[in-house]
Amino acid sequence: MTSSDSITFESGAEPLHIDSKRIHKILRERINKPENLLLLKHWAENDESDGIRMLALKKIADSWRNKLETMEWLKGRAVLDASLKIRLQAIHIVASDWRVEQNDETDKTIIWLKELATVAENEDIRKCAVQAFNSLMPNNPIDLLTVPDPFHGGDNDNERGDDSRVWTLKNVIWRSKFDTVTLHWAMQQAEFDESDRVRLIAVEEVADAWQSNAETLIWLKHRAVVDKNDKIRKAAIEAIAYGWRDEPDTQAWLNARAIEEKSSEIREVLQHELDWGWRELPNAIEYLRHKAEGGKANI
């Protein structure tokens, strides 16, 4: 669609030509009308002119900034839009318009920016997300832009991309450790990221950075049992055995898992951790003895 085209809504209103004067006129005359917002969104998404699209984007943010749907729409443009200029502008608007009010939606925006900084394929988008994050969290900034780009060692694009995301993941966690919002974000990366390497690093970082948080041990035990990836399960078991060795229930939990576990590979991990972690304790070898006899350990 070009700037000379027009569209008509079901209300039968007169076709509205797409140009900047018309946008300003609409906003002055009928600022609160729903069809006005629909029209501007249409222009922002479909016009061939980046200038018109940018103007419509800014006007939507200025005039409907108090609507939650507006922020969600802007986040969508930041991720899905074909124009890099529009994506960058949407990120800036999201960070600037919701930076003042500290509430649950601000926390969601912070999590979203961290994820964007980690997973976005475009380097400019990642850097913009970092800048936006730092504007919201000046006391816990991500020091990404001042560090030389270390992501040139991979043999292919996927490896280089994973290197970039792993490094950014560690940077985010290091800068914001002990923050519950960051903990939950890192857990999400560990559970749902498409890269096994990113997931594995996220598990290790969660266990290390939030060892004192009661949620961490519960979450690790859950991942050790239900995760479909054996590498993730092994990492969770090793983290539990190492980080929570002094917890009264850790040995009993490992014993129980070793008895119930169906995977021979996972059983070997559990046996190894019991053997080396609790070898000086009288009950450490109880599982192995009873298993050899065909019975169950008395735990």
Q: Mind giving me the DSSP string for 69-132?
A: HHHHHHHHHHHH-S-HHHHHHHHHHHHHHTSSS-SHHHHHHHHHHHHHHHH-SSHHHHHHHHHH
Distance CA 133, CA 140 (A): 9
Structural domain includes residue 274: yes
Structural domain includes residue 13: no
Domain count, the chain: 1
- For residue 216, the tally of other CB atoms under 10 A from its CB is 21
- Contact status, residue 273 vs residue 241, Cβ threshold 8 Å: yes
Tokens encoding 230 = 């054996």
Structural domain includes residue 293: yes
Q: What angle do CA 223, 172, 190 make, to 5 degrees?
A: 15
Structural domain includes residue 258: yes
Sequence-separated (6 or more) residues with CB below 8 Å from residue 247: 217
pLDDT in tens, the chain (299 residues): 444 344 333 334 444 445 566 666 665 655 566 777 888 888 888 887 777 888 888 888 887 777 778 888 898 899 888 899 999 999 988 887 654 444 555 677 888 888 888 777 787 888 888 888 877 776 666 655 433 343 344 444 455 556 667 877 777 777 677 778 888 889 998 999 888 998 999 999 999 989 999 999 999 999 999 999 999 999 999 999 989 988 889 999 998 999 899 999 999 999 888 887 776 554 545 555 555 555 544 44
Tokens encoding 119 = 């997973």
Tokens encoding 189 = 């990366």
Structural domain includes residue 269: yes
Structural domain includes residue 59: no
DSSP 8-state symbol, 36: H
Structural domain includes residue 231: no
For residue 264, give its domain range: 248-299
3-state SS, residue 16: strand
Structural domain includes residue 299: yes
